[in-house]
Structure 1
Amino acid sequence: MPLNVGSLGDFIREQRDQAQMSLRQLAKAAEISNPYLSQVERGLRKPSAEILNRIAQGLRISAETLYVQAGILDERAGDAAVTTAIAADMTLTERQRTTLLQIYAAFQAENTTHRGAEDSASPAKEH
Protein backbone atom coordinates (compact mmCIF):
# COMPACT_ATOMS: atom_id res chain seq x y z
CA MET A 1 0.00 0.00 0.00
CA PRO A 2 1.66 3.26 -1.07
CA LEU A 3 2.13 5.93 1.52
CA ASN A 4 0.41 9.20 0.75
CA VAL A 5 2.69 11.38 2.85
CA GLY A 6 1.01 14.58 1.65
CA SER A 7 -2.37 13.63 3.09
CA LEU A 8 -0.71 12.34 6.26
CA GLY A 9 1.00 15.70 6.69
CA ASP A 10 -2.26 17.51 6.02
CA PHE A 11 -4.01 15.33 8.59
CA ILE A 12 -1.33 16.02 11.22
CA ARG A 13 -1.51 19.76 10.50
CA GLU A 14 -5.32 19.70 10.81
CA GLN A 15 -5.09 17.83 14.12
CA ARG A 16 -2.48 20.29 15.36
CA ASP A 17 -4.66 23.24 14.36
CA GLN A 18 -7.68 21.69 16.10
CA ALA A 19 -5.57 21.22 19.23
CA GLN A 20 -4.54 24.89 18.89
CA MET A 21 -0.87 23.95 19.00
CA SER A 22 1.96 25.62 17.16
CA LEU A 23 4.41 23.54 15.18
CA ARG A 24 7.00 24.28 17.83
CA GLN A 25 4.69 23.15 20.66
CA LEU A 26 3.88 19.85 18.96
CA ALA A 27 7.53 19.21 18.11
CA LYS A 28 8.45 19.75 21.75
CA ALA A 29 5.59 17.53 23.00
CA ALA A 30 6.55 14.79 20.51
CA GLU A 31 10.27 15.19 21.27
CA ILE A 32 11.18 15.69 17.61
CA SER A 33 12.81 18.65 15.88
CA ASN A 34 10.79 21.54 14.45
CA PRO A 35 12.30 21.12 10.95
CA TYR A 36 11.53 17.39 10.90
CA LEU A 37 7.89 17.93 11.93
CA SER A 38 7.58 20.67 9.32
CA GLN A 39 8.89 18.29 6.65
CA VAL A 40 6.39 15.62 7.75
CA GLU A 41 3.52 18.11 7.54
CA ARG A 42 4.63 19.22 4.07
CA GLY A 43 4.82 15.60 2.88
CA LEU A 44 8.59 15.62 2.43
CA ARG A 45 9.37 12.98 5.06
CA LYS A 46 7.95 9.54 5.81
CA PRO A 47 7.88 9.20 9.60
CA SER A 48 8.47 5.85 11.27
CA ALA A 49 5.84 4.18 13.44
CA GLU A 50 7.71 5.38 16.53
CA ILE A 51 7.65 9.00 15.34
CA LEU A 52 3.95 8.68 14.50
CA ASN A 53 3.40 7.33 18.00
CA ARG A 54 5.18 10.35 19.50
CA ILE A 55 3.21 12.77 17.32
CA ALA A 56 -0.04 11.04 18.34
CA GLN A 57 0.91 11.37 22.01
CA GLY A 58 1.69 15.05 21.48
CA LEU A 59 -1.67 15.58 19.78
CA ARG A 60 -3.46 13.38 22.33
CA ILE A 61 -4.97 11.18 19.66
CA SER A 62 -4.60 7.44 19.14
CA ALA A 63 -1.48 6.25 17.35
CA GLU A 64 -3.69 3.92 15.33
CA THR A 65 -5.36 6.94 13.75
CA LEU A 66 -2.00 8.08 12.39
CA TYR A 67 -1.01 4.53 11.39
CA VAL A 68 -4.18 4.30 9.29
CA GLN A 69 -3.51 7.71 7.74
CA ALA A 70 0.07 6.65 6.96
CA GLY A 71 -1.08 3.40 5.36
CA ILE A 72 0.81 1.30 7.92
CA LEU A 73 -2.43 -0.13 9.21
CA ASP A 74 -5.80 -0.97 7.75
CA GLU A 75 -8.79 0.25 9.69
CA ARG A 76 -9.80 -2.91 11.58
CA ALA A 77 -10.78 -3.47 15.19
CA GLY A 78 -8.19 -6.11 16.13
CA ASP A 79 -5.26 -4.16 14.75
CA ALA A 80 -5.26 -1.48 17.41
CA ALA A 81 -4.04 -3.64 20.28
CA VAL A 82 -1.31 -5.28 18.20
CA THR A 83 0.08 -2.07 16.76
CA THR A 84 -0.09 -0.29 20.09
CA ALA A 85 1.85 -3.12 21.73
CA ILE A 86 4.49 -3.08 19.00
CA ALA A 87 4.88 0.71 19.08
CA ALA A 88 5.12 0.71 22.88
CA ASP A 89 7.70 -2.09 23.13
CA MET A 90 10.87 -0.26 24.10
CA THR A 91 12.91 -3.48 24.07
CA LEU A 92 12.86 -3.17 20.27
CA THR A 93 14.72 -0.51 18.33
CA GLU A 94 12.74 2.04 16.31
CA ARG A 95 13.79 0.27 13.13
CA GLN A 96 12.67 -3.12 14.50
CA ARG A 97 9.27 -1.71 15.52
CA THR A 98 8.75 -0.13 12.10
CA THR A 99 9.79 -3.31 10.32
CA LEU A 100 7.53 -5.44 12.51
CA LEU A 101 4.56 -3.17 11.78
CA GLN A 102 5.28 -3.39 8.06
CA ILE A 103 5.52 -7.19 8.20
CA TYR A 104 2.28 -7.36 10.19
CA ALA A 105 0.51 -5.17 7.61
CA ALA A 106 1.91 -7.29 4.75
CA PHE A 107 0.63 -10.52 6.34
CA GLN A 108 -2.79 -8.95 6.84
CA ALA A 109 -2.92 -7.81 3.22
CA GLU A 110 -1.82 -11.25 2.01
CA ASN A 111 -4.44 -13.00 4.13
CA THR A 112 -7.16 -10.62 2.97
CA THR A 113 -6.21 -11.23 -0.67
CA HIS A 114 -6.00 -14.99 -0.08
CA ARG A 115 -9.41 -15.10 1.65
CA GLY A 116 -10.95 -13.08 -1.19
CA ALA A 117 -9.57 -15.53 -3.76
CA GLU A 118 -10.89 -18.51 -1.78
CA ASP A 119 -14.33 -16.94 -1.49
CA SER A 120 -14.58 -16.29 -5.24
CA ALA A 121 -13.20 -19.76 -6.12
CA SER A 122 -15.54 -21.76 -3.91
CA PRO A 123 -18.73 -22.95 -5.63
CA ALA A 124 -22.05 -21.65 -4.40
CA LYS A 125 -23.84 -24.07 -2.10
CA GLU A 126 -27.23 -25.27 -3.18
CA HIS A 127 -29.97 -25.79 -0.64
Structure 2
Amino acid sequence: MAGLNVGSLGEYIREQRRNAQYSLRQLAEVAGVSNPYLSQIERGLRRPSAEILQQIAKALRISAETLYVQAGILDEREEGDREVRTAIMADPAINDRQKRVLVEIYEAFRKENAQDGAVRDVPGAADGTENGKPGRAGTDTSISGHEE
Protein backbone atom coordinates (compact mmCIF):
# COMPACT_ATOMS: atom_id res chain seq x y z
CA MET A 1 0.00 0.00 0.00
CA ALA A 2 1.21 3.50 -0.71
CA GLY A 3 2.43 5.68 2.12
CA LEU A 4 0.49 8.65 3.39
CA ASN A 5 1.41 11.95 1.75
CA VAL A 6 0.14 14.25 4.49
CA GLY A 7 1.17 17.52 2.81
CA SER A 8 -0.67 16.99 -0.47
CA LEU A 9 -3.66 15.57 1.42
CA GLY A 10 -3.90 18.76 3.44
CA GLU A 11 -3.61 20.89 0.33
CA TYR A 12 -6.33 18.83 -1.32
CA ILE A 13 -8.66 19.20 1.68
CA ARG A 14 -8.00 22.96 1.79
CA GLU A 15 -8.80 23.23 -1.93
CA GLN A 16 -12.03 21.23 -1.50
CA ARG A 17 -12.99 23.34 1.53
CA ARG A 18 -12.51 26.53 -0.44
CA ASN A 19 -14.48 25.13 -3.38
CA ALA A 20 -17.31 24.34 -0.96
CA GLN A 21 -17.02 27.91 0.35
CA TYR A 22 -16.42 26.82 3.93
CA SER A 23 -14.22 28.62 6.37
CA LEU A 24 -11.84 26.43 8.37
CA ARG A 25 -14.09 26.82 11.42
CA GLN A 26 -17.23 25.95 9.48
CA LEU A 27 -15.76 22.77 8.04
CA ALA A 28 -14.37 21.75 11.42
CA GLU A 29 -17.80 22.18 12.98
CA VAL A 30 -19.67 20.31 10.23
CA ALA A 31 -17.07 17.51 10.20
CA GLY A 32 -17.06 17.21 13.99
CA VAL A 33 -13.35 17.87 14.45
CA SER A 34 -11.59 20.67 16.29
CA ASN A 35 -10.55 23.77 14.41
CA PRO A 36 -6.85 23.42 15.42
CA TYR A 37 -6.82 19.74 14.38
CA LEU A 38 -8.29 20.50 10.94
CA SER A 39 -5.79 23.33 10.53
CA GLN A 40 -2.93 20.94 11.32
CA ILE A 41 -4.28 18.43 8.77
CA GLU A 42 -4.47 21.12 6.10
CA ARG A 43 -0.91 22.24 6.85
CA GLY A 44 0.34 18.65 6.62
CA LEU A 45 1.28 18.43 10.29
CA ARG A 46 -1.19 15.73 11.31
CA ARG A 47 -2.06 12.32 9.92
CA PRO A 48 -5.85 11.87 10.11
CA SER A 49 -7.41 8.45 10.68
CA ALA A 50 -9.71 6.89 8.11
CA GLU A 51 -12.67 7.82 10.34
CA ILE A 52 -11.66 11.50 10.39
CA LEU A 53 -11.17 11.45 6.62
CA GLN A 54 -14.65 9.98 6.28
CA GLN A 55 -16.12 12.77 8.46
CA ILE A 56 -14.32 15.43 6.42
CA ALA A 57 -15.43 13.85 3.14
CA LYS A 58 -19.04 13.74 4.32
CA ALA A 59 -18.90 17.40 5.34
CA LEU A 60 -17.38 18.36 1.97
CA ARG A 61 -19.88 16.14 0.13
CA ILE A 62 -17.17 14.20 -1.64
CA SER A 63 -16.55 10.46 -1.50
CA ALA A 64 -14.46 9.19 1.37
CA GLU A 65 -12.66 7.04 -1.17
CA THR A 66 -11.44 10.22 -2.90
CA LEU A 67 -9.73 11.27 0.33
CA TYR A 68 -8.42 7.74 0.97
CA VAL A 69 -6.81 7.75 -2.49
CA GLN A 70 -5.43 11.26 -1.92
CA ALA A 71 -4.05 10.14 1.45
CA GLY A 72 -2.41 7.08 -0.10
CA ILE A 73 -4.54 4.70 1.96
CA LEU A 74 -6.13 3.31 -1.21
CA ASP A 75 -4.87 3.06 -4.75
CA GLU A 76 -7.19 4.05 -7.56
CA ARG A 77 -8.88 0.82 -8.61
CA GLU A 78 -11.78 -0.46 -10.58
CA GLU A 79 -15.27 0.32 -9.24
CA GLY A 80 -16.12 -2.97 -7.44
CA ASP A 81 -12.68 -3.07 -5.86
CA ARG A 82 -13.08 0.52 -4.62
CA GLU A 83 -16.43 -0.24 -3.04
CA VAL A 84 -14.98 -3.08 -0.97
CA ARG A 85 -12.03 -0.96 0.17
CA THR A 86 -14.24 2.02 0.96
CA ALA A 87 -16.57 -0.15 3.03
CA ILE A 88 -13.65 -1.57 4.99
CA MET A 89 -12.10 1.85 5.60
CA ALA A 90 -15.45 3.35 6.63
CA ASP A 91 -16.29 0.70 9.24
CA PRO A 92 -16.19 2.40 12.65
CA ALA A 93 -16.26 -0.96 14.48
CA ILE A 94 -12.64 -1.80 13.57
CA ASN A 95 -9.45 0.17 14.14
CA ASP A 96 -7.02 1.49 11.50
CA ARG A 97 -4.61 -1.44 11.88
CA GLN A 98 -7.43 -3.95 11.41
CA LYS A 99 -8.64 -2.04 8.35
CA ARG A 100 -5.17 -2.14 6.79
CA VAL A 101 -4.93 -5.89 7.47
CA LEU A 102 -8.33 -6.56 5.90
CA VAL A 103 -7.41 -4.55 2.81
CA GLU A 104 -4.10 -6.43 2.56
CA ILE A 105 -5.90 -9.78 2.80
CA TYR A 106 -8.39 -8.67 0.16
CA GLU A 107 -5.53 -7.59 -2.12
CA ALA A 108 -3.76 -10.93 -1.59
CA PHE A 109 -6.90 -12.86 -2.59
CA ARG A 110 -7.36 -10.69 -5.70
CA LYS A 111 -3.70 -11.14 -6.65
CA GLU A 112 -3.95 -14.92 -6.15
CA ASN A 113 -7.08 -15.09 -8.30
CA ALA A 114 -5.46 -12.95 -11.00
CA GLN A 115 -2.53 -15.36 -11.14
CA ASP A 116 -4.91 -18.32 -11.45
CA GLY A 117 -6.80 -16.61 -14.27
CA ALA A 118 -10.09 -14.80 -14.26
CA VAL A 119 -12.28 -15.12 -11.20
CA ARG A 120 -15.11 -17.45 -12.11
CA ASP A 121 -18.33 -18.69 -10.65
CA VAL A 122 -17.74 -22.05 -9.10
CA PRO A 123 -20.60 -24.41 -9.88
CA GLY A 124 -20.83 -27.25 -7.42
CA ALA A 125 -18.78 -25.47 -4.76
CA ALA A 126 -21.19 -26.69 -2.11
CA ASP A 127 -20.40 -30.33 -2.94
CA GLY A 128 -16.64 -29.83 -3.13
CA THR A 129 -16.38 -29.82 -6.91
CA GLU A 130 -15.16 -27.06 -9.16
CA ASN A 131 -16.46 -26.84 -12.71
CA GLY A 132 -17.54 -30.47 -12.41
CA LYS A 133 -14.13 -31.59 -11.16
CA PRO A 134 -13.38 -32.69 -7.61
CA GLY A 135 -11.84 -30.04 -5.39
CA ARG A 136 -8.53 -30.43 -3.59
CA ALA A 137 -8.74 -33.28 -1.10
CA GLY A 138 -8.75 -32.23 2.52
CA THR A 139 -9.15 -28.54 1.70
CA ASP A 140 -11.68 -26.74 3.86
CA THR A 141 -12.83 -23.70 1.93
CA SER A 142 -15.21 -22.36 4.55
CA ILE A 143 -14.07 -19.33 6.51
CA SER A 144 -15.38 -20.50 9.86
CA GLY A 145 -13.91 -23.98 9.53
CA HIS A 146 -17.27 -25.75 9.46
CA GLU A 147 -19.92 -26.41 6.90
CA GLU A 148 -23.08 -24.34 7.03
TM-score tier, shorter chain, comes to 0.7 to 0.9
**Partner AA of 1:80 in structure 2:** R
**Partner AA of 2:69 in structure 1:** V
CA contact (8 A) 1:73 1:79 kept: no
What TM-score, normalized by structure 1, do the two folds share?
0.76
Q: CA, structure 1 residues 109+81, in 2 after alignment: closer, same or farther (shift >3 Å)? A: closer
Residues 51-106 of structure 1 show CA distances to partners (whole Å, capped at 9, x for unaligned) of 0000000100000000000011011122332233234434x15xx1x223322443
Q: Output aligned runs, 1:107-118, within 5 Å.
A: 107=105
Q: CA, structure 1 residues 110+87, in 2 after alignment: closer, same or farther (shift >3 Å)? A: closer
**Partner AA of 1:83 in structure 2:** R
Q: Which has the higher helix share?
A: 1
CA contact (8 A) 1:49 1:67 kept: yes
Please say if 1:11 is aligned against 2:9.
no
Share of identical aligned residues, percent?
A: 59
Match of 1:124 in 2: none
Q: Which runs of 5+ in 2 are unaligned?
A: 116-148
Distance in 1 separating the partners of 2:89 and 2:107: 20
* Relative contact order higher in (CA < 8 Å, ≥ 6 apart): 1
**Partner AA of 1:78 in structure 2:** G
| C-alpha RMSD over aligned residues | 2.4
Match of 1:24 in 2: 25
Please say if 1:43 is aligned against 2:44.
yes
Match of 2:82 in 1: 80
**Partner AA of 2:3 in structure 1:** P
Distance in 2 separating the partners of 1:42 and 1:15: 14
* Pair member with larger Rg: 2
Q: Which runs of 5+ in 1 are unaligned?
A: 119-127
Match of 2:101 in 1: 103
Greater CA drift, 14-23 or 102-111: 102-111
